[in-house]
Amino acid sequence: ATLPPRASGSTFGNETDLAALLDLKKRITPLHVMSSWNDSIHFCSWVGVTCNNSTNRVIILKLNSKNLVGSLPPSIGNLSHLTGINLVNNSFSGEIPQEMGRLQSLRSLNLSYNSFGGKIPTNISHCTQLSMLDLQHNEITGSVPDQLSSLMSLNHLWLTINNLTGTIPNWIGNFSSLKSLLGQNNFHGSIPNELGRLTSLESLGLDSNNLSGMVPSSIYNISSMSLFSVLDNQLHGELPPNIGINLPNLQLFAGGLNKFTGTIPTSFSNSSRLRALDLGYNGLVGTLPAANLGRLQRLVWINFSHNRLESGKTGNLNFLSFLANCTSLQSLALNNNHFEGELPRSIGNLSTQLNSLVLGRNLIRGSIPDDIGNLLSLNVIGMEQNYLSGIVPDGIGKLQKLVTLNLRTNRFSGLIPSSIGNLTSLTLLYMYENRFAGSIPPNIGNCQSLLELDLSNNNMSGTIPRELVGISSLSISLYLSNNYLTGSLPSEVGDLIHLVELDVSGNKLSSEIPTTLGHCIMLMHLRLEGNEFEGTIPQSLKNLRSLEEIDISRNNLSGQIPEFLGKFPFLHYLNLSYNDFEGELPKEGIFSNASGLSVIGNNRLCGGLPKLRLHACSIKKSHSSQRLLAPKVVIPIACALAFIISLSCFIVARSKVKKSRGGPVGSRSYEGWKSISYLELVQSTGGFSMDNLIGSGSFGSVYKGVLPTDGRVVAVKVFNLQQRGASKSFIDECKVLRSILPHRNLLKIISACSSIDNQGNNFNSLIFEFMENGSLDSWLHPRDDDESQSKRLSLIRRLNIAIDVASALDHLHHLCETTIVHCDLKPSNPSNVLLGEDMVAHVGDFGLARFLLEASDSSSQSQTISAGLKGSICYIPPENGLSQIHIGLSCSALSPSEQMQMNVVVNKMKATRDSYLNFRGRRKRS
């Protein structure tokens, strides 16, 4: 009803409704969305409000998808004429008020996709007219209250994705008009028999609970059922033979990830509307009733992976021909079964819509028919770990949409078809553990979307094509190990600037290690062992500070072992054995710990830890070191040191006196921090010139500077004291910074300067170590105009950053004297995570940090972890992706007791990283 504008909304309508709406408005931000909720128009014309024409009472409140943040006030219960509430897809939190129970005309309550917590209010039981209760995707806890048994008019009960516990109440079986019941929660126990009485039920979704026992047979008789999904529980038993006859309306049947046994009922062919059949990860036996399934023209999705199915008496795969009749089929997953026999040519007749064909880990023999090239929609081919042989047909090059091609661990031979270069969308190519021979086709270099390429453990010869190592998209790994490759490692390897793992070991590669390898700054694992490389270790490799493992053993390398290897912070495995290195071993880092180091078979090396059993280095050196210890040398050095120490004591003492006098233009430094004056800061930042301005935040600007005293590069954060709150932020930040014990992942404070500037105004600044790779934000969200456009973070780098951030928080939460909560780490704009020289993340900006006792909202303490994960889930294997989501959810739980401890987060993230690096189910590398 459109009512004429009025000066006062209350004149026309009901005072109670107006008051309740205003009360609601008070709790909601952002205000601009609610700007129409003002006095100038009647509340019946406010956005999202619908009134009854004659009574002017609010009947519908519809504020879905408006980015609203807030909570529901108890006064919502005063909108007593409401029939519908729709707040879907906002960020409402807090409990759903019990006063909702006063809305006795309510027929539809949809609060889904918010962050409501607490329990389901028992008073909702008074809303007996409710036909739709949708609370899905919230954080609701507790069990489903028995009081809800009075909601006999319910058509739809959607509780999915909450934290509900307990059992599924059997009284739901009395809701005779119930059409859909969805609940992915933590329910346990069995599915109540009573649900079989729901004769109007169309959708039953009970995925991902802890349900056990058998599915009551009466449920398989609800003929109205179109969607049945109980994925990921512990249900057991056999599927009834007449299932398809009794469920003629079935469109989706998903029982994957359970313990179902027995055979696949042929009667599914009677469910003529069936679109998806998912029974993967069960204990099903027997054959695939393909002739029956072939009658299901609408079938889009078939998944019987991870069962014990077999080819049956025929011992072949000809049954696949029947599936050609499923003209809508998009995904066929039969992997991890006992299917045997050859792939029939008719595989090329499968639906042209097929985008995923997954047949890996069976006993399939023979070759891949060339006709596979007909399946033009294919994104994924998985045929790994079978007994496939012969050549890979050229036709594969027609599959231009292919993203994953997994042919590993088979008996393929011959050349890799050059048509592979047509597969420009390919991201993962696994052909390892086969018998491929000949050269690697150079046009593989056209596959410019590849993230990972593994051709290892084949019989390939010839040189490594330049084009291959020029695939700059490669950012997970490149494995060419254990072949017969010759020639040099092409200098184009330097294009692999995102690559994490490079393994060309066990070939016949010769010449020098290219200096361009030093460009691959993301490398964590470098394996060149078992080749014929010669010359020295190039100096350029000193850039590769992320390296964790280096194996260059069994080559012809010579020269000195460079010092920089001892400075790599993460290096824990270095194998230099069986080369011809000479001279003294460096002493630092990896060289100080014999367990990760191997140098045997280098007879001209000397020094090092006694455990390495190298001979002592030449007298000349020890002579000179003895000379160093001679009194002639020692005495002047000692005197100089004593002088320096007394001088610094004097300076410190003098500065303390100055401090206590509080001289107007003196600067104040803090104990243990370097003393830096205002003038020094002016000098170091070129007079705070625009050229040195790094950026500005809410309370001031940050400048790059070089300290005149020691040449150290710093970031000077100058507080804009005109800005309200800036002075307090400076004091608070100093307070927190002084109490933090240093940590590798915390931004290091060098000094604070509290002084008077050259115009006589107060001047406050903090001086930090300069982070040369800027903020994480600038990497995750490069600006259009920015040279940072070219910035890209590999997944592994993102994981490492997330681990760094979590480690910093762990330190703040658990390892400082008083627990400190940061309170200002925003996943959407992680400008307070800064990246140092080696891309090591440092958490900074403690302006809002609180000692735990002071923290008003401890829930904010763990908001960060998702920052590092954003955008990365897509490359994580699904099980790891889930574990990341789990970590994210746990960290953002509102109640501190439910939040995961940061040290657990760190460990879990590390486990994810490690398992990610080993993902692809590859064999263990020695």
Ligand X SMILES: Nc1ncnc2c1ncn2[C@@H]1O[C@H](COP(=O)(O)OP(=O)(O)OP(=O)(O)O)[C@@H](O)[C@H]1O
Active site residues: 824
Handedness of CA 825, 830, 832, 835 (dihedral sign): positive
**Terminus-to-terminus CA distance in the chain, angstroms?**
75
Minimal distance, residue 744 CB to ligand X, in Å: 15
Angle at 637 between CA 634 and CA 642, to 5 degrees: 120
d(CA 663, CA 665): 6
Nearest-CA neighbor of 458 among 429, 432, 428, 479?
A: 432
Q: Measured at CB, which residue is nearest to ligand X?
A: 697
Instruction: Determine phi and psi for 762, rounding to 5 degrees.
Output: -60, 145
Cβ 768 to ligand X, closest distance in Å?
Answer: 4
Q: Please give the single-letter amino acid code of residue 148.
A: L
Nearer to ligand X, 428 or 749 (CB): 749
CB of 328 to ligand X, least distance (A): 51
Residue 88 or 771 with smaller CB distance to ligand X: 771
Closest CB to ligand X among residues 241, 725: 725
To ligand X, the closest distance from the beta carbon of 716 in angstroms equals 9
Q: Using the minimum distance from each CB to ligand X, give the nearer residue, 397 or 847.
A: 847
Smallest distance, ligand X to C-beta of residue 107, A: 46
Helices (H), 548-630: 619-629
| CB closer to ligand X, 533 vs 770 | 770
| d(C-alpha 633, C-alpha 895), whole Å | 64
Beta-sheet pairing, 749-756 with 484-486? unpaired
Rounded least distance, CB 778 to ligand X, Å? 7
Percent helix, strand, coil in the chain, to 5, is: 30, 20, 50
Question: In terms of CB distance, is 270 or 729 closer to ligand X?
Answer: 729
- Write out the residues near ligand X by the rule CB under 6 A: 694-700, 702, 715, 717, 747, 768, 770-771, 774-775, 831-832, 834, 844-845
For 182, other C-beta atoms within 10 Å of its C-beta total 20
**Omega before 30 within 30 of 0, i.e. cis:** yes
- Amino acid letter for position 308: R
Distance, in Å, from the CA atom of 91 to the CA atom of 87, rounded to the nearest integer, reads 9
Distance CA 548, CA 590 (A): 10
Nearer to ligand X, 175 or 730 (CB): 730
**Which residues are 751's β-sheet partners?**
767
Q: Angle CA(692)–CA(696)–CA(698) in degrees, nearest 5?
A: 155
Q: To the nearest whole angstrom, how small is the minimum distance from the Cβ of residue 713 to ligand X?
A: 9
d(CA 174, CA 88): 28
In the complex, least distance from residue 93 CB atom to ligand X, rounded to whole angstroms: 23
Between 84 and 774, name the residue whose CB sits nearer to ligand X: 774
Alpha carbon distance 328, 355 (integer Å): 11
Side-chain-facing half-sphere of 346: CA atoms under 13 Å: 10
Torsional class of 607: left (φ above 0), alpha (ψ -120 to 50), beta (otherwise): left
Which CB sits closer to ligand X, 196 or 700? 700
Among candidate residues 280, 282, 322, 283, the one with its CA nearest the CA of residue 304? 280
Q: With respect to ligand X, which residue has the nearer C-beta, 644 or 713? A: 713
User: What's the rounded Cα separation, in Å, for the pair 814 and 731?
Assistant: 23
Q: What angle do CA 777, 778, 779 make, to 5 degrees?
A: 90
Pairing of strands 459-463, 435-438: parallel
Token pair for 693: 């301005």
The residue among 459, 448, 397, 475 whose CA lies nearest residue 796 is 475
Provide, rounded to whole angstroms, the least separation between the CB of residue 685 and ligand X.
Answer: 13
Q: Which of 909, 874, 925, 791 is nearest to 428 (CA)?
A: 874
Residue 608 burial by CB count (10 A; 0-12/13-18/19+): exposed, middle or buried?
buried
Max Cα-Cα span within the chain: 107
